[in-house]
């Protein structure tokens, strides 16, 4: 599908590293002009320069400016996310709200800002980086699981409203991906469960996955590249698991 996205503009949030960087690179390889949106402006600028794209240094937790935003992107990838692991009774309310703001409210506002342009062109792709936790729950992740379930609902409503305008909306639902976010989770899980970090993958993270390894960012990016293509024009309102068999249980 090389060059299949020529003439399209893509915006990837959390695009300077991990899954976001892999997705941005894949979309750029396929011809899209990519905007790297990230809290780390320097990292966003560096990757944008490598891909011949643009950088947008933005704090998506500051949602007020997003309410009046207008985006001219054809492909919107909602990828930015954070994690916190703690029992519900110990979960700080502000930390819970922070995760909902970044992973539900901000995607809603970005979709809201992008749809008028997509509708005007009669073509658009909204790709939401959800998780197996958008379909399944795990203990100690109340805020993250809640946010990902909400993102699933938002994606489906976007699919229904956008269908007549040539806009699709889908979720990608990976298991644990080899990213800095997951590496931080390993440390948090070790503290929560009272085990060593070396034991976390075997005894906590990969217990539900039939394929006993982490998902690679490039694998997620490959699926995102397909969902952005014309080949996926009839795919909307869907949730694509890439979880090594976790959700098959």
**Rounded-to-integer distance, Cα 199 and Cα 196, Å:** 5
Q: What angle do CA 30, 37, 124 make, to 5 degrees?
A: 50
Give the number of other CB atoms < 10 A from CB of residue 124.
25
20 and 79 in contact (C-beta within 8 Å)? yes
CA distances 223 to 74, 208, 218, 220, Å, are 17, 22, 9, 5
The pair of structure tokens assigned to 75 is 């492909």
The pair of structure tokens assigned to 19 is 């899954």
**Rounded-to-integer distance, Cα 168 and Cα 161, Å:** 9
| 119 carries an active-site annotation | no
Q: Which residues are registered as beta bridge partners of 177?
A: 215
Q: Which position among 119, 144, 176, 240 bears the catalytic label?
A: 144
**Rounded-to-integer distance, Cα 164 and Cα 109, Å:** 21
Handedness of CA 137, 141, 144, 146 (dihedral sign): positive
Catalytic residues: 144
């Amino acid at each position: 599908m090389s060059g299949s996205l020529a003439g399209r503009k893509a915006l990837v949030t959390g695009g300077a590293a991990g899954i976001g960087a892999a997705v941005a690179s894949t979309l750029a390889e396929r011809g899209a002009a990519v905007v790297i949106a990230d809290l780390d402006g320097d990292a966003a600028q560096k990757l944008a320069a490598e891909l011949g794209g643009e950088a947008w240094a933005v704090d998506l937790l500051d949602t007020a400016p997003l309410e009046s935003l207008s985006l001219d992107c054809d492909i919107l990838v909602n990828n930015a996310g954070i994690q916190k692991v703690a029992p519900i009774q110990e979960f700080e309310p502000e930390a819970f709200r922070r995760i909902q703001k970044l992973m539900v409210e901000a995607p809603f506002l970005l979709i809201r800002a992008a749809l008028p342009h997509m509708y005007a062109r009669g073509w658009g792709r909204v790709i939401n980086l959800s998780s197996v936790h958008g379909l399944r729950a795990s203990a100690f992740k109340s805020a993250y699981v809640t946010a990902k379930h909400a993102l699933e609902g938002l994606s489906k409503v976007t699919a229904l409203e956008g269908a007549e305008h040539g806009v699709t909306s889908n979720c990608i639902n990976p298991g644990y991906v080899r990213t800095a976010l997951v590496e931080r989770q390993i440390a948090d899980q070790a503290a929560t469960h009272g085990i060593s970090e070396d034991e976390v993958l075997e005894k906590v993270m990969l217990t539900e996955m039939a394929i006993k390894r982490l998902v690679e960012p490039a694998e997620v990016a490959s699926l995102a590249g397909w969902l952005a293509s014309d080949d996926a024009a009839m795919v909307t309102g869907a949730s694509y698991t890439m979880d090594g068999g976790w959700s098959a249980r």
